[in-house]
Amino acid sequence: MSDQRLEDRVAIVTGGGRGLGKATSLRFAREGAVVVVADLDKEPADGVVQEIRSNGGRASAVAMDVTKRDDVENVVSSTVSEHRRLDVMVTFAGVALFGPAMECTDEMWQRHLDVNLTGTFLCAQIAARQMIQQKSGRIITVSSIMGQRSGDRRMAYGTTKGAVIALTKHMSGEIAPHGVTINSIAPGPVMTKMWLEANTDVEASESTYLRGIPMGRFGQPEDVANAAFFLASDDCSWITGHVLNVDGGFIATGVRDGIF
C-alpha cells in the first residue's frame, strides 16, 4: 500500500508558480498527486514542474488568467480531457496592493475584486461543475486573516478576502449533496515575495505582527501547504464550509500583557 495519500489525484493549483502556491504544488506532488501548476506567468510554473519531475513527480504547467472565464474553462477542460477527472482545485492566485483607504484608487479596488474575488469565483464554480458530475472533489479557496479583522492599509485586500470567505460558505451547502467540499485557508503573515512587495515598511510590519503572534514566528509557505494537503485529503471528507486559520494563533488571541 502506497504511503502517498493523494496518489493519482488530479489537482489544479492556481498561482502555483511561486510562494504559497509553489509550496502546495510541491507538497501535493510528493503525496502522489498529478499537479497542474497554473500561473499568469508560465515561466515560474515551468520551474516548479521541473522541480517536481526531477523528484519523480508528475506535473504540467499552464498559463492562466483567473479573471478570464475562458482561460479557467480551458484549463479545467484540458485537465479533464487528459486525466479524465479533476479532484482538487486550489485558488492561490491573488494580489495584495496595500495603501491607505482614503487613497485607494478605482483601479486598485477593481484589481483586487477581479483577481481575488472574481478569480476565486470562476475557479470554484467551473471546478465544482466538473466535480458534481464526478460526485466527488475538493475545492480549497485562499482567504486571509485580513478577511476576518481590520488592518491598516489593507481595506481593498481584506474586503475581497472577506468576500472569499462568504463565497466559500455560501457555495458549500449547494455542492455538499454531490460529494464536493469547499473550504478556505486563511493564512496569517507569511514572508513571501508578495508580502514583502506589499509592505512599504517591512521591518515595522514584521515587528508589529510578531508582537501579536503567540507562536512567535512568521509562517512558512510549507505551513500553508500542509493545511492545503489536509483539506485535499480523505481526512477532510466530512468538513465543508470551514475557514482554517493558519496564523500561529494571531486571530485567536487579543491583548496579551505577558503577565502569568
Active-site residue among 121, 157, 195, 250?
Answer: 157
C-alpha cell at 129: 461543475
Amino acid 144 reads: S
Instruction: Give the integer Cα–Cα distance in Å for 226 and 218.
Output: 15
150 is written with which cell numbers? Answer: 481590520
User: Would you list the DSSP string of 119-186?
Assistant: HHHHHHHHHHHHHHHHT-EEEEEE--GGGTS--TT-HHHHHHHHHHHHHHHHHHHHHGGGTEEEEEEE
91 backbone dihedrals φ, ψ, rounded to 5°: -110, 75
- Is 157 annotated in the active site? yes
Spatial separation of the C-alpha atoms in residues 71 and 69, rounded to whole Å: 5
* CA 124 to chain CA centroid, nearest Å: 11
DSSP class of 116: I
Residues with a known catalytic role: 157
